[in-house]
Chain A
Amino acid sequence: MVGGARTTHPALQVPVLLGLGLLAAYFIACYAFALESGRVPPRWLPPVALWMGNWQMFTLLDKGHSALAAEMGSEAAGFAPVDLDALFPYRWESGPRYARASFRRSRVHLEILGEATCGRLAARGEPAPEAVRFVELRWKKRLGRAKQPADHATRKELFTWRCGGAPRLPAAVGE
């Protein structure tokens, strides 16, 4: 061969094999402890160590849609829908930044999104609402249909944020 033939230095061959063996053992541990339900990882193993080696992709059956919707206004005057997609346009393939269920479960995240919604509405020159209310919508998926209307969605009110409040932002914000 024009480019020659070279390989791992003999002194490194055993360490390389040991390293590859450790890598394989790491992934097996990730599968056993991070993915399979019902197995508890040992206390000395931090969860972040397993996070880099677990891949759960489209594994579980999910027959429903869920989404976070926002409404602005006040208890006295009533609430009107807010187009969150227009205020926060960046989308991952998994949807907007706030699409994941873990986001909806976090009071701190909803506080931050609430104040950001108030701020971005004001920045657009729209009248500042008194409050922003977040609602979780759930509705059935329809196989073979391009349109998946949420017209019979179930609503669950999650949280109402009063604009002008102080959300629990991370420590370095505003430094």
Chain B
Amino acid sequence: MSVLHRLFAPVYAGGWAIGRVALGLALLALWLPRASGIGDVWGVEDMVFSEWPFHLADHWVPSLAEAWALWGGGLLGIGLLLFGGRATRPGLLLWLACEWALLAAEGLNTKAYDRLLFWVVVGFLVSPAGERGLLDAARSPAARWFLLIVYSAIYGSTGWLKVSEEGAAWARGEVLAYHLVHKHFGLQPLGVWVSGQPWLTQAFSWATLAFECAFPLLVWFRRANPALLALGASMHLGILALMNVGPFSYVALAAYPVLLHPDAAARIVARLRRRAAD
């Protein structure tokens, strides 16, 4: 058996089916609140900016009707993604086009999760997520590798950067403590309390550094993968409880069913089915 044959042996693909729905719900949580910006951010001519890397406003500024059309188009795209099957890819492409048109029109506030989502959506576009019946199917592992590389990049780069640029302050728990009282990202009731508990911010900081730095190395191994993802899910749920980072946590977690090792995913789905049947 050749190396390529072994590398590309089909693996359980149920994660894509679950991930498609999770991604659709995460996009919905991101997209619905953006409607409140139409008439204030989009569809106005007084607060329009042309800032790197977007210079769309030098060529086109959406009218109120066009802004609503873009938002509605994005919502339709999410609907198609959630419907699944052959509608999945057109839905993803439609949402992606509307999302980046609105981001480029706004010009000032493209978030880390917007860029992460771009890569996640590309991963889903090249995946079998649009097929029906994936809970009982095995497919190529290549699209999962794509997402593993993307997540290794995001966790690895942010973790290694914390160590190299601000390692001592992170080790003392100080950086996290001060971010928990940031006037926009922080000041959540539980987060405020945690910010005043140095032993907790230090423990959370060490756990974050360990997870982010180890992710690119350990996520590929079957034995380490489920425990590592459980730690990652805890980190994102912790961020959700302690900070105000918008839809970042949902967006990051949406691809976790795909990142989970296919053997582990198959075992979990089988166990859930047995329970449902009992």
How many B residues touch A, CB cutoff 8 Å?
A: 85
Give A174's nearest chain B residue, CB to CB: B45
B140 near A6 with CB under 8 A, answer: yes
User: Nearest chain A CB to B174's CB is how many angstroms away?
Assistant: 6
Distance between Cα atoms of A67 and B187 in the complex (Å): 16
* Complex partner residue of B161 from A8, A56, A106, CB under 8 angstroms: A56
Give the number of residue pairs across the A-B interface with Cβ within 8 Å. 217
B87 to chain A, nearest CB (A): 18
With a CB–CB cut-off of 8 A, which chain A residues contact B153?
A: 24, 27, 30-31, 53, 55
Which one of B7, B178, B195, B244 has the highest number of Cβ atoms from chain A below 10 Å of its Cβ?
B178
Partner of B160, one of A8, A14, A31, A119: A31
Name the residue on B nearest A4 (C-beta): B137
> Once the chains are docked, how many angstroms separate the CA of A112 from the CA of B45?
10
Identify which of A5, A13, A31, A93 gathers the most chain B CB atoms within 10 Å of its CB. Answer: A93
A52 close to B (CB within 8 Å): yes
Instruction: Tell me, in angstroms, the Cα distance from A46 to B187 when the chains sit together.
Output: 38
Given contacts A6-B140, A20-B149, contact A95 B133 (CB under 8 A): no
Chain B residue at minimal CB-CB distance from A150? B183
Q: Does A120 contact B (CB under 8 A)?
A: yes
Q: Chain B nearest CB: distance from A30 CB in Å?
A: 7
B50 close to chain A: CB less than 8 A = yes
Q: Is B238 an interface residue (CB 8 A)?
A: no
Tell me which residues across on chain B come within 8 A of A5, comparing CB atoms.
10, 137-139
Residues of chain A within 8 A of B50, CB atoms compared: 170-171
Extra contacts besides A1-B136, A141-B178 (9): CB < 8 Å: A3-B131, A6-B140, A36-B164, A55-B115, A90-B36, A116-B46, A120-B46, A143-B177, A172-B58
- Give residues in A with beta carbon < 8 Å to B: 1-8, 10, 13-14, 16-17, 20, 23-24, 27, 30-31, 35-37, 47-48, 51-63, 65, 67, 88-95, 97-100, 102-103, 106, 109, 112-113, 115-116, 119-120, 141-146, 148, 169-175
